Amino acid sequence: MVGAGPYGLSVAAHAAARGLDVRVFGRVMRSWHTMPPGMLLKSEPWASDLSDPAGAHGLAAYAATRRVRVEHGVPLPVGFFAAYGEWFARRAVPDVDPRTVVAVRPRPHGGFTVTTEDGQETGTHTVALALGGTPFLDVPAALRPFVPHHVTHSSDLPDPARFAGRDVTVVGAGQAALETAVLLTEAGAHARVVARSPRLVWNSVPPSLRRGAWEAARAPHTGLGCGWRNLLYARTPGAFRRLPGPTRERLFATALGPAGAWWLRHRFEAVPDVRLGRSVVAARPAGDGRLLLTLAGAGPGAPVTEVETDHVVAATGFAPRLDRLDPLCPQVREELRTVGPGGAPEVSGRFEASYPGLFLAGLVTAPAYGPAMRFVYGAGYTAERLVRGVERRLRSPRPTAVPAARPGPAGASRDAGGTVATPG
C-alpha cells in the first residue's frame, strides 16, 4: 500500500482484516498535517469516517476517547481529523513504514519491485497506490515558474501568521481559496481573492438530520451534501463508472463546483479585496521580491489590470492525470488505459488499473468513479472492493512466485507473499 492517508489506511485495514499480508508505506495523514492551523473540516463528521470492516474505528469513536462531541452541522478542526487518522492507523492497520516510495517497476516473472527513498527494493505481487492529492496539485501556467518561492498551492500553505503585514493574493473561488483568504486576513495579512467566476457560491446551512418525510424526500442527506444528484454520486459510484468516458470527465470537472462552507461566510466579510471575473494571465518579478500579476476578464476586449503582491496562493484544485503518477515507471504508465483525453487512468469495478496487479485509490480515481472519490466519504466504497480485487487477482490466475529483489543501499530487501503492497 503506497500512501497512508484516509484511502490508504482504509484499504490497509480491510486487507489486514481479510488476512492479506499487507505493508503500508508513507507518513500517516501527511497532507492533513501540513494544512494551515485553524482550518476546519468541510464535510460533516458522520461523513468523514475512515473505513474498517467492523466499523469500530469511526470518527465518533475517536472523539469519544478525547471527550469531544461530534455534531451534525458543527465543523471539526482539520488537526483533530489528522489525529483521528493516526489513532485509526494504530488500531486497524499493520505497522506503517514512513519511507516514501520513489519507484514501482514491473518484474520479469510477474509482480512489481517497489523502491523506497533510501534505495531499498522489495518484491510484491500487487501494489495499490493511494497518493492523495499531492502529485496532482494544479497551478495556473502563468504562475508555475514562481513555485515555490513566490507561489504556493493552498495544500502546501504554511502557517498564515508568517504572512502578517504582507500582501497575499489567493487565486480561486472554492472552499480552499475562501478559507485561506480568511485565515490570512485573521492573521494580519492583506489578503486579496482573484477568481474567474463572476460570483461566489456559498453552501446553505445543512438541514437537521431529523426531518419530516416530505423535506427528507425533497433533499435527502448524503455524504456529499443534500440533494438527489448528490445521492446518486454518493451511493452509486459503480453506475457512474459505466457512463461514457467523456461524460465522466465532464461531470468530474463540473459536479460539486467551487463553493464556500456556510459557516465561513460571515468571516469572509473581513477579506478586504475580492476581484471576481478575473484570471491571472501573466506574472513577472516586480522587484523587492514581489510579483506583478496581470489580471484579465473573460472575452475579447475585457479590461486588463495589474496588481503587485508579495505572495500568491493558488487554490486552484487538482488535476488527477496519469502522467503525474511519478512512482510508476514509464513502461507501466504507457500501458495504462485512460478515461478520456484528460489523461486520468481507467480502473475496473475493483479499482484495478489496466496493468494487472496495479490498483488505484482516492482522488486519482474520481474521473472514473465520480465526485465521491474526491472526499473521505468514498474510502469505504473503495476499500472493500479494492481488497476483493486483490484477492481475485491473487487467485486467478495464480501469480507466479516473486523472486527476491536486489538489495538496495539500505540492505537486503524482502519478498511479499501476495499482498496489497509489500512484504511479509
C-alpha distance from residue 289 to each of 139, 151, 171, 181, 270 (Å): 20, 12, 19, 21, 26
Decide if pLDDT at 141 tops 80.
yes
Buried b (16+ CB within 10 A) or exposed e, 19-30: ebbbbbbbbbbb
Q: What is the pLDDT of residue 410?
A: 42
Quick one: pLDDT band at residue 37, thresholds 50, 70, 90? confident
CA quadruple 35, 324, 85, 4: dihedral, nearest 10: -140
pLDDT, tens digit (0-9, with 9 covering 90-100), for 192-249: 999 999 999 999 998 888 888 888 888 888 888 889 999 999 999 999 999 999 999 9
CA torsion, ordered 368, 6, 37, 280, to nearest 10 deg:
-10
Q: What's the average model confidence in pLDDT over 15-29? A: 96
Query: Which percentage of the chain shows pLDDT scores above 70?
Result: 93
Residue of 281, 280, 75 whose CA lies nearest to 169: 280
What is the side-by-side strand order in the sheet with 151-153? 151-153, 311-314, 167-171, 190-195, 273-276
Return the closest-CA partner of residue 92 out of 300, 383, 326. Answer: 383
Q: What is the DSSP string of 184-213?
A: HHHTT-EEEEEESSSS--BPPPPPPSS--H
Which CATH number does 141-202+259-314 carry? 3.50.50.60
**Contact by Cβ (8 Å): 38, 186:** yes
Mean of pLDDT over the chain: 91
**HSE (side-chain half, CA atoms, 13 Å) at 61:** 14
Question: Nearest to residue 113, comparing CAs of 97, 96, 126?
Answer: 126
The CATH number of the structural domain formed by 6-136+318-395 is 3.50.50.60
Q: DSSP label at 85?
A: H
Q: Where are the domains of the chain?
A: 6-136+318-395, 141-202+259-314
DSSP assigned state of 35: S
Query: What Å distances lie between residue 102 and 1, 99, 337, CA to CA?
Result: 13, 9, 22
Q: Between the CA of residue 67 and those of 49, 76, 77, 81, 384, what are the distances in Å?
A: 17, 14, 15, 14, 30
Nearest of 260, 312, 255 to residue 289 by alpha carbon:
312
Question: 398 falls in which pLDDT band (50, 70, 90)?
Answer: low
Average pLDDT (64-69) is 95
Grouping H, G, I as helix, E, B as strand and the rest as coil, residue 125 is coil
311's grid cell: 505572495
Chain segment 159-172, per-residue pLDDT in tens = 999 999 999 999 99
CA dist 103 → 64, 98, 112, 219 (Å): 40, 15, 10, 46
For residue 150, which of 129, 166, 134, 137 has the smallest C-alpha distance? 166
**3-state class of 107 per DSSP?**
coil
Question: Would 6-136+318-395 and 141-202+259-314 be classified into the same CATH topology?
Answer: yes
Q: How many percent of the chain have pLDDT more than 90?
A: 79
Please say whether the beta carbons of 122 and 414 come within 8 A. Answer: yes
Average pLDDT rounded to a whole number, residues 19-44: 93
Are 220 and 196 spatial neighbours (Cβ–Cβ below 8 Å)?
A: no
Judged against a pLDDT cut of 60, whether residue 424 lies above it is answered with no
Supply the pLDDT for residue 217. Answer: 86
pLDDT per residue as tens digits for the range 262-310: 999 999 999 999 999 999 999 999 988 899 999 999 877 788 999 999 9
In tens, the pLDDT along 128-139 reads 999 999 999 999
CA angle 49, 54, 55 (to 5 degrees): 20
Spatial contact of 13 and 52, defined as CB atoms under 8 Å apart: yes
For range 72-91, the mean pLDDT: 96
Check if the beta carbon of residue 394 is closer than 8 Å to that of residue 124. no
DSSP state at residue 58: -
pTM of the model: 0.91
Residue 25, strand partner residues: 2, 97
Residue pLDDT, tens place only, 330-361: 989 999 999 989 899 999 999 999 999 999 99
Residue 358's identity, in one-letter code, is L
